[in-house]
């Protein structure tokens, strides 16, 4: 423990509050705040020249996650560019016709698959571009599209290269695969519940349209263009569809069965995909350059988070805050820290950004939970439960993008979708408890 005029617990609390205020008021970006704030408070804590070693240790801990994310983003970006999902979009659009039930189910299924790339903005553009003309033709409520889009995308963000999982793992210094693996059954249960919700909403909409006499029968109109808006058809590789599909399925199965470390599998899959789809060097460079912004933003954020947690741990602040929390939390309640974290993640992620929540709050909870014998990985999984609610947060830019494209008011979308987001989160919570992703009670 480093000596300081202020107690480490108080100093750590001030550090986290400062970080959260700066990024939530947009005074600083998450990346710069993750670096500048801990360095300042580390100096105040008396760390001195030891700060450098603390930062390096934190960065080394998150290096495998950053490596995996780098190649995961590039791999799925190449699959998008090559048109892996184009036949699926065409098939789904042809299959749904003018039946509201099939349209709603098609929205959920296609969103789930397209969300594999881990980019919510890309998913929103593809799904809204493909389905909004269908919703308008039939007369369906576009808020259904917004709701299903947000729910499926948020659940698919549990994948290791998704933003929330990567943040949760980086915040507590564990491998992202350890966080994701036990959560798979709960994620699948959430997706199944969302598909059932899509069926329910589609049936409800079908009855409404029939009652108003505006039900459209037969199939009319051409499907929307199934390409990512702005994409150049010249970069599509339709002849390689089956190869790309087999490669992607093999990658997913390899992750499920743990055939190799995630970063290694992503690196190998990217090398194969880039070489086969774009054998010319200039084409490979062009594809990498086209997605460089996404890669840099994600990787720099993860490394900055490593510096933040490195100083938080190295100065003893996080342990001091956890001990302070343990002194005031009744043991009877503290042993239920995991489900409490899961329930609290819904309101907390609604009013906070993912960066503020995962880097500011989750490490303290994880350290306090360790005092009751609850693994940090379990707290990381519990902290992800509220993601369906988080997608409706007014702090998120994607909700404004989606509502703008759909021509609906953000407040209307929140009122319509919030109850369903809470319901899906509770389904995920129950399944996570049932499958042991995190314990109901410590010990």
Instruction: Estimate the crossing angle of helix 317-328 against helix 292-314, to 10 degrees.
Output: 70
Residue 90 has what pLDDT? 75
Q: What is the pLDDT of residues 313-345, one digit of tens each?
A: 888 887 787 777 667 777 778 889 999 999 989
Summarised one tens digit per residue, pLDDT across range 42-92 is 998 888 889 999 999 888 888 887 888 788 878 888 888 888 877 777 777
Q: Is the pLDDT reported for residue 2 higher than 80?
A: no
Q: Which of 10-19, 77-86, 114-123, 430-439 has the lowest mean pLDDT?
A: 114-123
Q: What is the DSSP letter of 323?
A: H
Mean pLDDT of the 364-388 span: 91
Q: What is the mean pLDDT of residues 218-240?
A: 61
Q: Identify the pLDDT of residue 53.
A: 92
pLDDT tens sequence across 280-309: 999 999 999 988 887 887 788 788 888 888
DSSP structure class, residue 228:
P
Q: Percentage of the chain surpassing pLDDT 90?
A: 33
Distance CA 233, CA 227 (A): 8
pTM of the model: 0.74
Q: Strand, coil or helix: what is 46?
A: coil
Mean pLDDT of 245-250: 90
Structure tokens at 44: 């105040």
Angle 414-419-420 from CA coordinates, rounded to 5°:
95
d(CA 39, CA 315): 11
CA distance 411 to 399: 10
């Amino acid at each position: 423990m480093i000596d300081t005029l202020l107690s480490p617990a108080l100093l750590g609390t001030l550090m986290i509050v400062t970080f959260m205020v700066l990024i939530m008021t947009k005074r600083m970006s998450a990346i710069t705040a993750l670096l500048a704030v801990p360095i300042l408070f580390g100096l105040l804590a008396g760390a001195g020249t030891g700060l450098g070693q603390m930062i390096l240790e934190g960065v080394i801990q998150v290096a495998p996650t950053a490596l995996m994310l780098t190649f995961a983003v590039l791999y799925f970006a190449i699959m998008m560019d090559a048109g892996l999902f184009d036949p699926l979009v065409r098939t789904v659009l042809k299959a749904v016709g003018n039946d509201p039930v099939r349209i709603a189910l098609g929205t959920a299924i296609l969103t789930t698959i397209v969300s594999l790339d881990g980019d919510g903005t890309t998913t929103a553009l593809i799904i809204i571009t493909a389905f909004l003309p269908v919703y308008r033709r039939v007369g369906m409520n576009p808020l259904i599209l917004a709701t299903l889009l947000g729910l499926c995308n948020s659940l698919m963000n549990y994948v290791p290269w998704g933003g929330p999982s990567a943040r949760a793992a980086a915040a507590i210094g564990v491998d992202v695969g350890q966080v994701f693996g036990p959560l798979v059954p709960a994620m699948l249960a959430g997706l199944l519940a969302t598909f059932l919700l899509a069926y329910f909403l589609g049936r409800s909409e079908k009855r409404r349209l029939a009652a108003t006499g505006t039900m459209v029968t037969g199939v009319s109109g051409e499907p929307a263009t199934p390409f990512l808006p702005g994409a150049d058809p010249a970069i599509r590789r339709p002849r390689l569809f089956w190869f790309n599909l087999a490669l992607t399925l093999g990658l997913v199965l390899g992750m499920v069965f743990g055939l190799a470390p995630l970063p290694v599998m992503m690196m190998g899959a990217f090398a194969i995909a880039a070489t086969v789809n774009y054998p010319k060097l200039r084409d490979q460079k062009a594809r990498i350059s086209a997605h460089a912004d996404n890669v840099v933003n994600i990787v720099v954020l993860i490394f900055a988070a490593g510096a933040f947690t490195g100083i938080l741990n190295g100065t003893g602040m996080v342990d001091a805050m956890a001990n302070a929390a343990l002194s005031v939390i009744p043991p009877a309640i503290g042993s239920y820290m995991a489900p409490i974290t899961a329930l609290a993640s819904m309101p907390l992620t609604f009013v906070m950004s993912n960066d503020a929540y995962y880097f500011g709050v989750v490490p303290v909870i994880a350290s306090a939970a360790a005092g009751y014998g609850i693994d940090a990985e379990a707290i990381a999984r519990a902290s992800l439960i509220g993601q369906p609610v988080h997608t409706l947060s007014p702090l998120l830019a994607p909700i404004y993008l989606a509502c703008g494209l759909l021509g609906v008011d953000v407040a209307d979308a929140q009122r319509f979708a919030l109850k369903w987001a809470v319901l899906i989160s509770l389904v995920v919570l129950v399944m996570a408890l049932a499958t042991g992703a995190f314990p109901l009670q410590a010990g």
